[in-house]
Structures are given as C-alpha cells and as structure tokens.
Amino acid sequence: MNTNTVSVFDLSPPEKLQLVEDLWDDLAMTPSEVPVYEWQKKELARRKANLANNPASGLSWAEVKLRARSRYVR
C-alpha cells in the first residue's frame, strides 16, 4: 500500500486553481460528453420563456460583468 499518495486537498491554492483549470479545459474539449440533466434543460427553458415574455427582466452582458466585478472589488 502506498502511503505517500498526495490528495488534491494537500495541494496549495495555486495548485488547486491550476487543477480546476486543467479539468475545465479537458471537459471543454468534448462538450458532447458532458451530461446535461433534464432538470437543467427545464430550468433553461423556463428562463428563456421568462425572458421572451418579459425582455426587460434581462441584463446586458456589460451589466452582468459590471455587477460581477463590483462584488469582488477590494
């Protein structure tokens, strides 16, 4: 039995971020293999219908970025 095994929980924060990035990139290479569950499809359909029925309820991409960035400004 190998007792020298390193766990992802033993990685430093920068190493963990790199691992997440590597995993994300790997998944992005084969998007057709990433499962999309029925509840996710239903939620997307619900949101699209809501936006179609109430266009003013949506935000522009610029507004989304501004809100996201303003939450994390230090």
Q: How do residues 43-56 score in pLDDT, each as one tens digit?
A: 999 999 999 999 98
pLDDT value of position 2: 61
- Is residue 37 in some structural domain? yes
Number of domains within the chain: 1
- Is residue 1 in some structural domain? no
pLDDT value of position 63: 94
- Is residue 3 in some structural domain? no
C-alpha distances in Å from residue 24, one per residue of 14, 39, 53, 56, 66: 15, 22, 34, 33, 24
- Is residue 2 in some structural domain? no
User: Mean pLDDT throughout 62-70?
Assistant: 93
